[in-house]
Every structure is written in structure tokens, then in C-alpha cells.
Amino acid sequence: MMTDSRELDLPAGYVELLEDLKATVKAARTTALRTINTQLIELYWTIGQGVRLQQEQQGWGSGVIKKLSEDLRREFPEMKGLSPRNIQYMTTFAGAWQGGPIAQQAVAQLPWGHVTVLLDKVDTQEKRNSYAAAAVQYGWSRNVLLNMIMNRTLERTGAAPSNFAQQLVAQDTELAQQIAKDPYNFEFLGLSGEVAERELELALTSRITETLRELGPGFAFVGRQVHFDVDGDDYYVDMLFFHMDQNRFNCTKGLRRLGEHFALAA
């Protein structure tokens, strides 16, 4: 008869290790989702930049953009973000953020819905940068961002953040939750509807080069479904990374136990 793990006398240090692993898994999941979002924003900027240059050089009109949309959607039918209207947003986006790699801008950490709000509701690029940085720093949801813009909060308080390059989206904010649920991100990976964790894991693995680049220097991909034996119990890490400089492992999603499923971070 199996012993209920809840009845075991836990050894010293177990609770502390469990909490540390939970935090590690949650942080890695947030980083992975932020990476996907940044890649999507980079893609949209690249599409917009290409169209914008053709508009300037060749005089492309709405008819050509509609044709481009049809051809792209024929090739990538799961991506609903390739509509003519959205491509026009991408073009405006590329025109607004012209300088430097877009991945290094605060706006690259925001979901696409936030970006369209900035384009629609903010009239100068300086203000767009300020509101984008504030949204990242304070974890504003799309509705909060819209309310802050309509109330001219930064203009009235003069509280525009300037250190957005050092900010990361905190995992417990509404912004992080929106990134995790953003359908544009799933469509970008070729996933739609109710996405199974296994499908998301496979999609992340297929983009491992881009994922490592976005995670930053020093990360190495160890493997997926990596087995660990802990006091005779079998555990499997969905995706395992190793940071060369920090000399530590980082994993995404939960640890799964052989014969039963449980996640350290639900």
C-alpha cells in the first residue's frame, strides 16, 4: 500500500527547498513567456518595417497590403494577427519606434494590445516611451494603461521612468498574466484554442535558438524531460537550462513525478 506523502515526516530543509524551487520554476516560466512575447513584437516590427520601406520607395497602397495579408495568412492560417488592419498597425509601430533594436525597448516587453493602445492614444513618441516604460515597471494591464493615458497621469505627476532597460515584467502582475494568456503569442507559436502544456513545450523547444538568445548570455539548453532521482523518487523537468556564469540550473514549468502528476507551480 502506498504511503500518502502528506503523512510523511518531512526532513529539515524540505519546506525551504520546496519554496525555492517554486520561485525558480515561476521565474523561469515568466522568462519563457516574456521571451515569446518579445519575439512576437520583434516579428511585428520587422513586418511593419518592411511594409513601411516599400510604401516610401514603391508607393504601396491598401490594396497591396490586403494582398500581402492574404498571402501571409494562406501560409500561416493559424495566425490571426496578419489581418490588413493589424499589418497597418505594424507599419505604424515600425514608424514610431525607428531607432535601435526593438527588443531592447520597453515596448518589446508589452503585449501587442498594449502597443496598439500606445499608438492610438498617445500623440508623441516621448510620451509613448514613457508610458511603455511605466507599464513594464508597474505591471499595468491594458485597461490600467488606457486609464493612465486618458488621465494624463505621467504628464501631471512627471513620474516617467527612465530605467526601463533594467526592468523585467514581474511574475505576479496583471501584465504578466496578460502575456501568459495573450492569444497572439499562442498563434505565433502555431498553437490555437486550448493549448496543452506538452504542445507549448514542443513549440518552445523548436525555437530553442531564439529562446536562448532572448534569455540572455550564459544560458545553455540541457534537455527536455530531464530525469532526476531524488531519494528514490523519479522526477522529470520539462525543460532544463544551465547558466554558465551563475553555475546553476533553471527549469521551465513544473517537475513531474513518475506515476503521478503534480506541479510545483500550477
Instruction: Give the pLDDT confidence score for residue 62 in this predicted structure.
Output: 87
**Virtual torsion, Cα 250, 251, 257, 261, nearest 10 deg:** 150
Instruction: Give the pLDDT confidence score for residue 209 in this predicted structure.
Output: 67
How many Å apart are CA 114 and CA 133, to the nearest integer?
12
pLDDT tens digits, one per residue of 2-33: 445 556 788 888 889 999 998 888 888 878 88
Maximum CA extent, the chain:
76
C-alpha cell at 258: 513518475
How many Å apart are CA 114 and CA 40, to the nearest integer?
13
Positive or negative: CA dihedral 88, 89, 91, 92: positive
Instruction: Give the pLDDT confidence score for residue 203 in this predicted structure.
Output: 67
More confident residue, 49 or 195: 49
Share of the chain above pLDDT 90, in %: 33
